[in-house]
A and B are shown apart, each in its own frame.
Chain A
């Protein structure tokens, strides 16, 4: 019986889902935004820090390497200036000076040699047999001859192993000489090779022709990608250029370059981004993990709470529905109670006639002497009268029972005009004695509405009862009108009664609010009407003028598939 009106399970599922979505979004969105902003800021700060570290590191080593080269050049220049060519031409003298230098600088110097203006090495001290070697065609010799001092690129030369030369020009007795020293490649290479940046970072030196001046690195691809682009750019001598690009394998890398040796060489460094930002990535992962775990906890907690809440709402709805049912039933009984007095009068009259007719038969039969034909005929009339009055009682009780039995709240198509007829039949006696004329103006083409017939009957009975009660002893009219307006069924009950004061109008549908004398009204009738009509998706309104009467209007949606209900009711008439 209750199922037709309790909200479907889908409603509560939707409510749960919406509740969960709302709470989750409201909870997680700020968390997500805060987390994202903090991570972004942290990434920016971390990136700046990584770049600054790289810049500091590269600048430091640039200065170290530049200082190394200047120092070596200074050593040779001091030798060239301090001694005469005859002294420097002496191999034993050169060997002694080489020994001193090797001792002082831990084997950085490989050899020393004096070369004349034609490129012939006139003196040599060192591990190789290079005395008398001719450098006239060597590129370093041609370049060194043009300046006072010179540091060459790394090259293999006559000895076939990588090295570079530091040379200083010496003018002696009108002729130019070059004092040259070979720098140990391993010692120079160690200056760069030992630079470690994180787990994957390293450094190396290139000249402007992109030739390695330190040991070549296989993982460095110079011919393409970021390095090629970077080496083509004019590098700012005062600063370190840093770019972040993927390498040819798609691995994100950080590339840094800074010029040294007056821009002839470039110190380069590269590192995998994942290595450079390892702590950032760890922080990101931790933040994401916290967000995901926190989010899951919020979702689970919200789900549990929403389910509990919705279960409570469903229980409350059930209780409310049950109370509504009870209230409607109570209102129904109250309506019947209000009719009871009139109905009692209607039944008591035929019963009184039956009792008196029976008494009359008894009177006739108790007469002494033979029963005349006239007496027999009178007895027959009395018996027929008893039968007629019995039939009258039956009709009244049937009418009453038809109302009392209708307690099914199931929604079904209802013919409102038919309902009007039934209800006016019930209140006919009451209105007659109250001097109230009941009239109707019914639209015979009225479509049916979806409602519980018993509940709708109760609404109409309440409205008509109230309308009759509102009319004073001078009498008046109650008119029930039905019509179809804008696709909705409109039913109004108008009376010519005392009307409702403006102050009461606003509270008229409140429960337990009544203007009737104590004991005559429960204050539930209109509240129940409101509840029933509201539940059916309809509307109930009232207009009233003090001293002129009131009109209660019920508007209900017409059933789309409904055919007009032909009730045979008059379009306008008197009930």
Chain B
């Protein structure tokens, strides 16, 4: 895969769906990514405050904090952070709203892991 170097990419994975978070973490880790999985927007913001990430993959709909809100905060904290929005919502309107707020790209659930990885690496080639 392009972009695969000695230094592992640091990915912040944010999703309140624990099952999804767990399996995606495993698969991404297996593909040499340093994944920090968090299950809430609040936790994501806390992690971003403690360490820097190359990419954040954020679920749009979460109970405590909306994905768009998380995007806004993360971009405020680190404007260079690439944020990829994941949405299980039928409407793509919110995801496009996220693009307007500076998200790198969006994907709809369920998606191929290959597609997600392609976007993660593409975000680092900007």
**Chain A residues within CB distance 8 Å of chain B:** 340-346, 348-357, 359-360, 363, 382, 385, 389, 432-433, 435, 473
Contact = CB atoms under 8 A, between A and B. Distances in A.
Interface string B46-70: 0000000000000001110010000
Contact of B61 (A343, A345, A357): A345
A343 B63 CA distance: 15
Q: List the 10 shortest-distance A-B pairs measured between CB atoms, nearest first.
A: A344-B90, A348-B88, A352-B110, A352-B109, A355-B110, A341-B90, A345-B88, A356-B23, A348-B109, A353-B19
Given A344-B88, A345-B90, A389 B110 contact: no
Nearest to B23: A356
A469 to B, nearest CB: 15
Interface stretch (B4-12, B24-32, B74-82, B96-104): B24-32
Given A348-B89, A352-B110, 9 more contacts: A343-B90, A344-B88, A344-B89, A349-B20, A351-B110, A353-B23, A355-B112, A356-B24, A473-B66
Contacts of B63: 432-433, 435
A350 B108 CA distance: 13
Contacts of A348: 88-90, 108-110
B41 to A, nearest CB: 12
Contacts of B30: 363
Nearest to A347: B88
A425 to B, nearest CB: 17
B27 A340 contact: no
Task: Give the interface SS of chain B, mostly helix, strand, loop or mixed.
Answer: loop
Nearest to A473: B66
Contacts of A385: 19, 23
Given A359-B27, A360-B26, A432-B63, A352 B90 contact: no
Given A341-B91, A348-B110, A363 B19 contact: no
A351 B109 contact: yes
A351 B66 CA distance: 21
B20 A352 contact: yes
Contacts of B62: 433
29 contacts: A341-B90, A341-B91, A343-B90, A344-B89, A344-B90, A345-B89, A345-B90, A346-B88, A348-B89, A348-B90, A349-B109, A350-B19, A351-B110, A352-B17, A352-B109, A353-B23, A355-B111, A356-B20, A356-B23, A356-B27, A356-B110, A356-B113, A357-B23, A360-B27, A382-B23, A385-B19, A389-B19, A433-B62, A433-B63
A345 B89 CA distance: 4
Nearest to A339: B90
Contacts of A355: 110-112
A354 B90 CA distance: 18
Interface range on chain B: under 10, 10 to 19, 20 to 34, or 35 or more?
Answer: 20 to 34
Contacts of A351: 109-110
A343 B89 CA distance: 8
Contacts of A343: 90
A359 B113 contact: yes
- Interface centre among B19, B91, B112, by most chain A C-beta atoms within 10 angstroms, is B19
Given A344-B90, A363-B27, A353 B17 contact: yes
A432 B109 CA distance: 19
A363 B113 CA distance: 11
B111 A352 contact: yes
- Interface centre among B17, B63, B108, B110, by most chain A C-beta atoms within 10 angstroms, is B110
A341 B95 CA distance: 13
A340 B90 contact: yes
A307 B95 CA distance: 62
A343 B87 CA distance: 13
Contacts of B66: 473
Contacts of A473: 66
Nearest to B17: A349
Contacts of B113: 356, 359
A433 B61 contact: yes
A217 B113 CA distance: 135
Contacts of B23: 353, 356-357, 359-360, 382, 385
Contacts of A349: 17, 20, 88, 109
- Interface centre among B26, B87, B111, by most chain A C-beta atoms within 10 angstroms, is B26
Contacts of A342: 89
A340 B66 CA distance: 19
Contact of B88 (A352, A357, A382, A389): A352
Contacts of A356: 20, 23-24, 27, 110, 113
Nearest to A346: B88
A354 B20 CA distance: 9
Nearest to B59: A349
Contacts of A345: 61, 87-90
A357 B112 CA distance: 12
A382 B19 CA distance: 10
